[in-house]
């Protein structure tokens, strides 16, 4: 790509809106993932007794195991959601912006 094409792309209002939407979405997803992980680490650091509680009578597994598994599954799910949106909407918008700039 030439610098002229880059300038056309950067000047396109659709591109500027796209960058804002994509950045906002990425930040939200990163914050959700960080809250899940740091929330779990916070529980480990400050409320070990809660995580050590047994799930129920006769069970040997503590409540910390399903919560930890939930954190892992949550981050896998939000990653899948982000990738799905990036591979469809974000990629389609990128192609449209490049086509408009090449006209």
- pLDDT tens for 17-28 read 999 999 999 999
Distance CA 11, CA 18 (A): 12
DSSP 58: T
Across residues 45-58, what is the average pLDDT? 90
* Average pLDDT along the chain: 92
Which ranges in 1-103 belong to alpha helices (H)? Answer: 3-11, 13-46, 48-52, 64-85, 91-102
Please say if the pLDDT value at position 1 is more than 60: no
State the pTM of this model.
0.81
Which sequence spans correspond to the domains of the chain? 3-102
Helix 3-11 to helix 13-46 angle (10° resolution) is 80
* Contact criterion met (CB below 8 Å) for 64 and 51: yes
| Of residues 68, 76, 66, 97, the one with CA closest to residue 29 | 76
Radius of gyration, CA atoms only, the chain: 22
Helix (H, G, I), strand (E, B) or coil at 62: strand
């Amino acid at each position: 790509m030439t610098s002229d094409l880059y300038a056309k792309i950067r000047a396109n209002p659709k591109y500027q809106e796209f960058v804002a939407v994509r950045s906002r979405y990425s930040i939200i997803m990163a914050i959700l993932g960080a809250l899940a992980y740091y929330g779990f680490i916070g529980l480990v650091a400050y409320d070990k007794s809660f995580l050590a509680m047994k799930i129920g009578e006769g069970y040997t597994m503590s409540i910390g195991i399903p919560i930890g598994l939930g954190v892992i599954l949550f981050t896998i799910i939000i990653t899948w959601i982000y990738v799905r949106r990036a591979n469809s909407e974000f990629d389609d918008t990128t192609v449209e912006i490049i086509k408009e700039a090449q006209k």
